[in-house]
Amino acid sequence: MNIGYARVSTRDQNLELQLDALSKAGCETIYQEKVSGASASRPELERLLTQLRTGDTVYIYKLDRLGRSLRHLLKVVGDLQQMGVGLV
C-alpha cells in the first residue's frame, strides 16, 4: 500500500501542495499534521508507523517533513527498513 505523510510546522502554513503531490504519487492514505518540527509529539506520524505492514511504501514530500532532527530521521528510516517498508 502507498501511504503518504504530510506535515507543516505552523498552523498558518498550508498542506495543499504536499497533499496534491502525495495524491498524484498514488497514495491511498495520507496522514497529515500541523506541528512544529522541534515538537516531540507527532501523533499522526506515530499512528502511521503503527499501521505499516511489510511491503508498504511511505511517501513524503521532503525529508525534513519526516524527522524532527537528523538523529530522529535516521531512526525512523532504520525502523522502516527493519519493517520491510519502502520510503519515497
pLDDT, tens only, 1-42 = 999 999 988 766 789 999 999 999 999 999 999 876 566 688
Number of domain units in the chain: 1
Mean pLDDT of 41-69: 92
How many other CB atoms are found less than 10 A from the CB of residue 56?
18
Q: Which is catalytic among the residues 9, 23, 36, 39?
A: 9
Host domain of residue 34 = 2-87
pLDDT of 12: 64
In this prediction the pTM is 0.88
Residue 23 among the catalytic residues? no
Domain holding 27: CATH number? 3.40.50.1390
pLDDT of 39: 61
